[in-house]
Structure 1
Amino acid sequence: MTAYIAMLRGVNVGGNSLKMSWLREACADLGLQDIQTYVQSGNIVFSSRLSASKLEQTLKATIDKQTRLPVTVVVRRAAEMAEIITGNPFLKQKGIDVAKLHVTFLVEAASKLAASKLDVLAGTRDEYRLAQREIYLHCPVNYGESKISNNAIEKALSVGATTRNWKTVTTLHEMAIAS
């Protein structure tokens, strides 16, 4: 069994209401094990023998069919999340406030050419670094006021994505390796 983390985009915001108890039950019905949810925004930790891409498809189809909520589902193995955490380039900067760090998880890798569109969004205030299927963000003022929002990233890159703050990223990883 492999430990996984699934992150759903847009859950329990903007009228997209989804009970975590229902989500846990739906995951159990799919044969997933060791299921836990974190906060009310669509974060699920579980174990499965399926691949990440199969899990993304299956979870999305189940949620779409049973709730009619158009959600993006991003799944990462716990081992991948560990690499994402250790690979955050902003952690190497002195005096960085981790409360100002976020990670945008992409459904698929973005091309460097498409990613160059993010320069305009980041402007002079916010910083980003593109990895494989993640974008590390440093928003020193406030992510809520940043122009490099999840919606803007999806539009610029033409790829589904979901963003989590650094505390959520590290907590989800800790939950996954503990299960």
Structure 2
Amino acid sequence: MSQRIILLRAVNVGPAQLPMAELRSIAGDLGATDVSTYIASGNLLADVPGPAADFDRALEQALEQRFGWFRDVMSRTPAELRTALDAHPFDVIEPKYSYVSFLAGQPSPAAIVKAGTYETGDDCWAVIGTEMHIRYANGAGRPMMKSESISRALHVPGTARNLRTVAKLIELSD
């Protein structure tokens, strides 16, 4: 068993409604222990059996079978979240305006170059390994950059959490 922070992409927005009690139950059915969730945006903390990637794919399949929609699942160890938080390359003016998008893999150099062709205004982003770091000048609700276009250009799915949420997930895992 290994402790993981499991992040689901785009739940409880649009048609992908997922009660956190259901998420905890499904994780338990897949063999996870010490299962908990944090806020209703798809943050799951658990000790998972076997390879983490196997658990992530099994959770994706279980959600699709039960609810009829697919959502990407990415997971990290608490240490990996801490490393990502520490690596944030931008000045943090307001933690709720700064994000880490946890990617399912590392984008290719060519994909990063392509994503870099999109206009961002005063918003900033950078890829460091398997994380995309973002700082919105005026908050995620009023972005100058087109995050979805940049994400599509990277060709790697990801899910973003603001720095406050990342810090809280690390704290909860301790």
TM over 0.5: yes
In the alignment, does 2:160 pair up with 1:175?
A: no
> 1:8-19, aligned counterparts within 5 Å?
8-19=8-19
Which among 97, 119, 132 is matched to residue 116 of structure 2? 119
Deviations 1:10-56 (A, max 9, x none): 10001211111111111111110111111111110111232221121
Distance of 2:51 and 2:141 partners within structure 1: 33
Cα distance 1:158–1:84, how it changes in 2: closer, same or farther (>3 A)? same
1:77-104 CA distances to partner (integer Å, 9 max, x unpaired)? 11111111111122xx3x6322210111
Q: How many corresponding residue pairs? A: 173
Match of 2:53 in 1: 53
- Does residue 98 of structure 1 match 2:112? no
Is 1:139 the counterpart of 2:142? The answer is no
**Between structures 1 and 2, the one with greater helix share:** 1
Structure 1 unpaired stretches of 5+:
none
Calculate the TM-score normalised by the size of structure 1. 0.89
TM-score (norm 2): 0.92
SS state at 1:117 partner: helix
Deviation at 1:122, TM superposition (A): 4.8
* Gap change, CA 1:154 and 1:129, over 3 Å in 2: closer
Q: Percent identity?
A: 29
1:74 aligns with: 74
Q: Given that residues 116 and 150 in structure 2 are in contact (C-alpha distance below 8 angstroms), is that contact kept between their aligned partners in structure 1?
A: no
Is the Cα–Cα contact under 8 Å of residues 102 and 166 in structure 1 kept in the other structure? yes
In 1, the alpha carbon distance for the partners of 2:46 and 2:130 equals 21
1:143 Cα deviation from its structure 2 partner: 1.3
Q: Are the counterparts in 1 of residues 11 and 71 from structure 2 also a CA contact under 8 Å?
A: yes
For the Cα contact (< 8 Å) 1:99–1:166, is it kept in 2?
A: yes
- Residue 150 (structure 2) aligns with: 153
**Where do 4+ consecutive residues of structure 1 move more than 6 Å?**
none
AA partner of residue 88 (structure 2): N
Displacement after TM superposition at 1:5 (Å): 0.6
Report the secondary structure of 1:144's partner residue.
coil
Offset at residue 128 of structure 1 (A): 1.0
